[in-house]
Amino acid sequence: MADLSVKIAGVDFKNPVLASSCPPTKDVRHAKKAIKAGCGGIVMKSITVDPWFTKYPYPWVKLLNWERRPEEPRYTPDGFSFYSRGVMYTPDQFIPQLKETEKAAKEADCVLIGSIMGYTFEDWVSLSQMVDSEVETDMIECNLGCPHPQEWTGETGGKLAGSTPKVAAEVIRRVKENSSVPVIAKLTPETGDMVAVAKAVKEAGADVLTVMNRFLGFKIDIETGQPELSGFAGIGGPWMKPLTLRWISKITQVMDTPILGSNGAMDGRDTVEFMMAGAKAVQFCTAILVDGYGVVGRIIKEVEGFMEEKGYGSLDEYIGAAIKHIHEYKQIPELPVLLASVDAERCDGCARCVGSCFYDAINIVEKLAIIDPESCVGCKYCEQVCPHEAITMVEGVREKYLKAMEPKF
Ligand SMILES: Cc1cc2nc3c(=O)[nH]c(=O)nc-3n(C[C@H](O)[C@H](O)[C@H](O)COP(=O)(O)O)c2cc1C
Ligand code: SF4
Ligand code: SF4
């Protein structure tokens, strides 16, 4: 049996599948469902200080590119977006919820993580003190990534703090001084250089990073000319995965602070991919929102199944495994050049590949695609569009490649 346990900043997780800070952990009732579903850890919904945020902005949701399939009610389209806003609770409302969740989490060996979001440095400190003194959480996550405060208020709320290395570091330094448990900095993608923020919060004492919270987006219904949800809202979905993976890997390349992946993971294979990029565990929000808590057990089984199939005994065997294979742009010339090759048995001359070749390297002659080796630059595009898998890539000749790459204006 594959061992799914992982130790992060001294805290033992029975598995790497976590519920993130979001509606599925919005109170003890929901948190218990995540615990019962088998999560290795749960991050409770963020606590904040502004009572306005307990009722507004309306927690409206718009599913974008959501194809309805009445015959398959649980069908989840690959490219959908979860476009939404949400509310948070104040400490007086939420600390009792955290306390009540404590026992259920302990009994199920599930790591309990509190989450806070201040507006000023003082708020961050008082929130961390409250969580630390009143609840036995295993870790505390600082939500430096909430995209909403930029639309209404706050000096250092959510991403307003997380997008500037100095401010983010100051938040973490102050929270760290007031916490007896490991401190997690949840980062925002809405910053120029997430690696710079990661380095700054690490120096300030962050024990763990969560990479990453969501973007704010904008969507219009062109039939009515009206914005969806009446304005800006948070946006995410499975299509976010490659963006998140890039930042996880960029940070993993330069520092060893443990990372929790968040944003775009939907299933067990995504979990493995996040971990190969460097994440030690993966948080789920949208997957639970659209598929229900049952998805947690499925994800755990999928990870286990993958590991057994590949012969991995533990997570450490593949965490960060892809990092050493990343070629920096300047190393690309070390890679072999490629050339397209057509299997005449499979090609029916449909010409689908011709329209995809922007180097004019394919001609159809007597219902067969013919590649011009003097023009083909080995871009691999035709290989993927061919409906009959008639094209494969073989090693090319560098001199020919360089010649083919000369401008032909
Ligand atoms: C409706 C909603 C509410 C959220 N609330 C919080 C929150 O209170 N604190 C936080 O750190 N992240 C919050 N998030 C962000 C999620 O925790 C998560 O980082 C994000 O949705 C990306 O992960 P996913 O692709 O698994 O959804 C929220 C997300 C959604 C959709
Ligand atoms: S797309 Fe494939 S089958 Fe069609 S012409 Fe090109 S190689 Fe032949
Ligand atoms: S690999 Fe690229 S350049 Fe070569 S034939 Fe195919 S599409 Fe054209």
SS (H, E, C) 373-409: CCCCCCCCHHHHHCCCCCEEEEECCHHHHHHHCCCCC
213 CB within 6 A, ligand 1: yes
Q: How far apart are CA 185 and CA 291, in angstroms?
A: 27
Q: How far is the CA of 356 from the centre of ligand 1 (A)?
A: 38
Nearest atom, ligand 3, residue 371 CA: 5
What distance in angstroms lies between residue 355's CA and the mean position of ligand 3's atoms? 10
What pLDDT score does 296 carry? 98
SS3 (DSSP) at 135: coil
Residue 54: helix, strand or coil by DSSP? Answer: helix
The number of angstroms, rounded, from the C-alpha of 336 to the middle of its chain's C-alpha atoms is 31
Token readout for 188 is 């925002």
Q: Are 109 and 14 in contact (CB under 8 A)?
A: yes
* CA angle (282, 283, 287) in 5-degree steps: 115
Give the type of residue at 47: I
For ligand 1, atom 3, the nearest C-alpha belongs to 22
Phi–psi pair at 235, nearest 5 degrees: -140, 140
Contact predicate 44/31, CB 8 Å = yes
* Token couple for 328: 């920096």
Confirm whether 6-325 and 331-404 share one CATH topology.
Answer: no
How many CB atoms are located within 10 Å of the residue 24 CB? 25
| pLDDT at residue 263, rounded to an integer | 98
Helix (H) or strand (E) holding 328: none
Return phi, psi of residue 22, to 5°.
Answer: -175, -175
The Å distance, Cα 389 to ligand 2 centre, comes to 8
For ligand 2, atom 3: residue with the closest CA: 347
Give the pLDDT confidence score for residue 69 in this predicted structure: 86
Shortest-distance Cα residue to atom 12 of ligand 1? 21
**Got the DSSP string for 332-352?**
GGGSPPEEEEE-TTT-----H
Q: What is the pLDDT along the chain (409 residues), one digit of tens a residue?
A: 899 999 999 999 999 999 999 999 999 999 999 999 999 999 999 999 988 888 888 999 999 999 888 888 778 888 899 999 988 999 999 999 999 999 999 999 999 999 999 989 999 999 999 999 999 999 999 999 999 988 876 667 888 999 999 999 999 999 999 999 999 999 999 999 999 999 999 999 999 999 999 999 999 999 999 999 999 999 999 999 999 999 999 999 999 999 999 999 999 999 999 999 999 999 999 999 999 999 999 999 999 999 999 999 999 999 999 999 999 999 999 999 999 999 999 999 999 999 999 999 999 999 999 999 999 999 999 999 999 999 999 999 999 999 999 998 8
Could you give the residue ranges of the DSSP H alpha helices within 37-145? 91-107, 121-134
Domain 331-404 has CATH 3.40.80.10: no
Our separate counts of H helices and E strands in the chain read 13, 20
- In this prediction, residue 154 carries a pLDDT of 66
Q: Where are the domains of the chain?
A: 6-325, 331-404
Q: In three state form, how does the secondary structure of 191-224 look?
A: CCCHHHHHHHHHHCCCCEEEECCCEEECCEECCC
Residue range 6-325, CATH number: 3.20.20.70
Distance of CA 382 from the midpoint of ligand 3 (Å): 6
- Any atom of ligand 3 within 6 Å of the Cβ of 371: yes
Cis peptide before 57 (omega within 30 of 0): yes
Ligand located closest to 234 CA? 1
What is the pLDDT, as a whole number, of residue 156? 77
- The answer, yes or no, to whether any atom of ligand 1 lies below 6 A from the CB of 83, is no
* Smallest-distance ligand from the CA of 369: 2
- Rounded distance from Cα 379 to ligand 3 centre (Å): 5
- Rounded to a whole number of angstroms, the CA Rg of the chain reads 24
| CA separation for the pair 132, 335 (Å, rounded) | 52
Alpha-carbon span 95 to 116, nearest angstrom: 11
Mutate to test the pocket of ligand 3, among 364, 371, 379 (most ligand atoms within 8 A of CB): 379
Residue position matching structure tokens 């307990």: 54
Distance 380 CA to ligand 3 centre (A): 6
- Residue 76 has what pLDDT? 86
Closest C-alpha residue for ligand 2 atom 4: 350
